[in-house]
Amino acid sequence: MNIVQSVEEMQQIMQDLRGKGKSIGFVPTMGFLHEGHLQLLRNCKAENEISVLSIFVNPLQFGPNEDFDSYPRDIERDEALARNAGVDILFYPSKDEMYKNNMSTRITVVDRVDVLCGEKRKGHFDGVATVLIKLFNIVTPHKAYFGMKDAQQVAVVDGLIKDFNIPVELVPVETIREEDGLAKSSRNVYLSNLERKEAPHLYQSLMCGKQAIEDGERSVGIIKQAVSKHILEHTSGKIDYVEVLSYPELEQINEIQEKVIIALAVKFTKARLIDNITLVVPNN
C-alpha cells in the first residue's frame, strides 16, 4: 500500500494510473475505520482495479461547538485495516496540505440540508461538499463509495456531482446491520444493556413504515405515526425526528411518491442513533 501525504504527488500518481487506463475507485473517510468503511472498501475493491482510501478529518465540516479536536484518530490502526482491506493508495494529507491557500472559495449547499440531521448542523454539508470537490479533483476517481447510513450525505453528494458535472459515479452502499437489524455504528457501544435490547426496534419501526406503504397506505402523516408508535411502544429512547421525504431531493411530501426515504433519529441515554431506509414505490 502506497501512503501519500502530498497533494502534488497524489495528483501525479493518479494521472499516471489514469494514463494507463486503470479503473479507480475511491472511499473518502475521516478515518477511525469501522465495519461500515470496510464494506465500502470491499465494494470498491471488487469493482475497480485501483482502490484509493482517503483519511482526512475535515475541519470545515465541524461547527464551532462540535468535536473536531476530540474526533477519534488512530492512523496506525487505520493503516493496518486499510492494508488488510487491499487498499492500493492511502491518501493522508495534513490540514495545512489540504487548506494551504486558506480557501478563497467555498461551496454552499442550498437544497437537501435543512432537514434531518442537517437542520441542526448548519454549514456542515458546505464543509463536506467543499472538501469533496477538492478530493475528487485530487484523486480523479471513476467511482466514489458512500454509505447509505448517512443518506442525507449521499443525497448532497448526488446533487454536488450533478450540479458541477463532476465525472464521478456515486455508488451508494447499503447500511451494514447486526444480525438483529440494528445499524452498525461506533455509537452502539454507548447503549446500556437494556437499550441495546431495545435498539433493533428502530429498524423494525422502519419496517412497519415500509409494510404500511406496501399495504397501500399513501399518507405520510399516517406512516410517520406508525413508525413513531412502534419506537415509543418498544424503546425507552426519545424521538428526535421521524421523517418521510422524497429521495434524493429530501423534500417534504404529504403523499407517498415514487422514491422516498423513511429516516429517524432517536436519543438514548448516552447515544443518539440514526437509521433510514429508502423505498421505490410502484405507481398505483
Active site residues: 37
Q: Are the C-beta atoms of 10 and 91 separated by less than 8 Å?
A: yes
Binding piece for ligand PAF, criterion CB under 6 A, among 22-30, 82-90, 110-118, 178-186: 22-30
Q: How far apart are CA 131 and CA 61, in angstroms?
A: 9
Judged by beta carbon, residue 61 or residue 228, the one nearer ligand PAF is: 61
DSSP structural state of residue 13: H
**By the rule CB under 6 A, 141 interacts with ligand PAF:** no
Judged by beta carbon, residue 29 or residue 205, the one nearer ligand PAF is: 29
Binding piece for ligand PAF, criterion CB under 6 A, among 28-36, 39-47, 71-79, 224-232: 28-36
Q: Give me the residue label for grid cell 446533487.
A: 159
Q: Give me the residue label for grid cell 440540508.
A: 113
131 burial via Cβ count (<10 Å: 0-12, 13-18, 19+): buried
Run of H or E including 26: strand 24-29
Q: Residue 138: count other Cβ atoms within 10 Å of its Cβ.
A: 20
Binding mask of the shown chain, residues 197 to 236, with x at each position contacting ligand PAF by CB under 6 A:
----------------------------------------
CB 129 → ligand PAF: shortest distance, Å? 9
What is the C-alpha R_g of the chain? 20
**Count of residues binding ligand PAF (CB under 6 A)?**
9
How many residues are there in the chain?
A: 284
Binding piece for ligand PAF, criterion CB under 6 A, among 26-34, 81-89, 218-226, 255-263: 26-34
In the list 13, 90, 128, 138, the residue contacting ligand PAF (rule: CB under 6 A) is 128
Judged by beta carbon, residue 150 or residue 243, the one nearer ligand PAF is: 150
The C-alpha cell of 120 is what?
A: 441542526
In the list 28, 159, 172, 237, the residue contacting ligand PAF (rule: CB under 6 A) is 28
Q: Which residues contact 233 (CB under 8 A, 6 or more apart)?
A: none
Strand order in the sheet with 272-280: 238-246, 259-267, 272-280
Judged by beta carbon, residue 65 or residue 193, the one nearer ligand PAF is: 65
**By the rule CB under 6 A, 48 interacts with ligand PAF:** no
The C-alpha cell of 232 is what?
A: 415509543
**By the rule CB under 6 A, 58 interacts with ligand PAF:** yes
Q: How far apart are CA 199 and CA 181, in angstroms?
A: 9
Judged by beta carbon, residue 61 or residue 185, the one nearer ligand PAF is: 61
Residues that bind ligand PAF (CB under 6 A): 28-30, 58, 61, 128, 131-132, 153
